[in-house]
Amino acid sequence: MEENKGYDPSDYEDEEEYYAPEPDAGKSIRGYRIVIVILSVILVALSMLYFGIHRQQMADNELLRADRDSIQANLGSLITEFDGLKVQNDSIAANLEKANEMMEQLKRERRWNYAKLKEYEKELGTLRTVMRGYLRQIDSLNTLNKKLINENVSYRKEITSAQLRADMAEEKAAELDNKVRAGAVLRARDITLAALNDKSKPVSRIRNATRLRTDFVISANELATPGNKAIYVRITSPDGYVLTTEAMPTFEFEGERLSYSAMREVDYDQSTDLAVAIFFNSSGFAAGTYRIELYCEGRLIGQTQVAMR
């Protein structure tokens, strides 16, 4: 066995491969380190740039969402205002439908950018302008309507006042006409009752009479109509019965038929008094108070009571 003689460089002088480090190896390592450092710096810079861009994008997205939410809120308010217009109008209905479609489109939108937001804001502004125009028109119409209502009330008051004046005038005319009619009625005065015998001579006891004579005077009346007048006399006996003939004639008074004792036609001249006598023939008269009523042209023209013995 050979002994270990130790390291001798001469033993390797003839070797082609010698593992001793070359003189440039240190420089290469330093170069690699510099490259790694530079790449690390670049990587850090790129990371910071990426995160910066990402943060900016997130901030931009937040702003976009805020703008989108604002547009949706304003559009919702506008839709409510359109819907609140209680007016049947095709144009309003069309703009309301457009606003609803725009709201649905906003809800479906997934990709946002400032250009789209500007477009939505522009359409929203147009709808808002249209809404203001409608509100101005409605306000003008309301103002005009109030004016017309006030004018109508004023006209109604005037018409009512005129109608009241006309009614009052008509009432006064009717009242005057009634007064004229009442003033034109014939009036009988100085009414008496006489008991007579067969020879038309007065008797002292009515039980001896065979006829009764009613005397009266028709007063002159310029308002009355002259001409032939039928005068009816009703003589009511003390026992309450109207004295009449077997034929029991009647005349009309206030819608009823009344029996009468005797009737006479006279020629009346409204300018002078007219004395009239009407006879009733019968017998069996009883003593007591007799009631005399005179009628002409459907009116009671005189009455009195006479005590007969």
In angstroms, what CA-CA distances link 304 with 107, 204, 274?
Answer: 105, 20, 18
Give the tens place of pLDDT for each residue, 168-195.
Answer: 878 877 766 665 666 778 999 999 999 9
pLDDT of residue 305: 97
Position 210 scores a pLDDT of: 96
Strongest mean pLDDT among 29-38, 57-66, 79-88 = 29-38
First-last CA distance in the chain: 210
The pLDDT of residue 9 is 52
Asked whether residue 1 carries a pLDDT value surpassing 50, the answer given is no
Average pLDDT, the chain: 80
- Residue 85 CA to residue 10 CA, distance in Å, equals 112
Of 83, 70, 85, 87, residue with least CA distance to 125: 70
The answer on pLDDT for 16 being more than 70 is no
Strand order of the β-sheet with 188-196 is 188-196, 211-218, 274-281
Check residues 208 and 157 and name the one with the higher pLDDT.
208
By C-alpha distance, which of 184, 188, 191 is closest to 219?
188
Half-sphere exposure of 26 (CA within 13 A, CB side): 1
Q: Give residue 63's pLDDT.
A: 63
Is residue 248 predicted with pLDDT exceeding 50?
yes
Top-confidence residue, 295 or 137: 295
Query: Helix-strand-coil percent breakdown of the chain, rounded to 5?
Result: 50, 25, 25
| Mean pLDDT across 105-127 | 73
Note the Cα 10 to chain centre separation in Å.
132
Q: CA-CA distances (angstroms) from residue 62 to 24, 119, 148? A: 57, 19, 54
For 200-227, the pLDDT digits (tens) are 999 999 999 999 999 999 999 988 889 9
Which among 226, 229, 223, 225 is positioned nearest to 176, based on CA atoms? 223
Question: Does the predicted model carry a pTM greater than 0.85?
Answer: no
Comparing 208 with 124, the larger pLDDT belongs to 208
The 3-state DSSP class for residue 46 equals helix
Give the residue carrying structure tokens 């709808």: 127
Which helix H or strand E contains 267, and what residues bound it? strand 262-268
- Measured CA distances, 249 to 120, 183, 233, 264 (Å): 104, 29, 11, 13
Residue 266 has pLDDT above 70, yes or no: yes
pLDDT given at position 2: 47
- Which pLDDT score, from 0 to 100, does residue 93 have? 67
The answer to which of 30-34, 125-129, 131-135, 200-204 has the lowest mean pLDDT is 131-135
pLDDT digits (tens, 9 = 90+) for 47-69: 777 666 656 666 566 666 777 77
Q: Domains of the chain, with CATH numbers? A: 27-131 (no CATH), 188-308 (2.60.40.10)
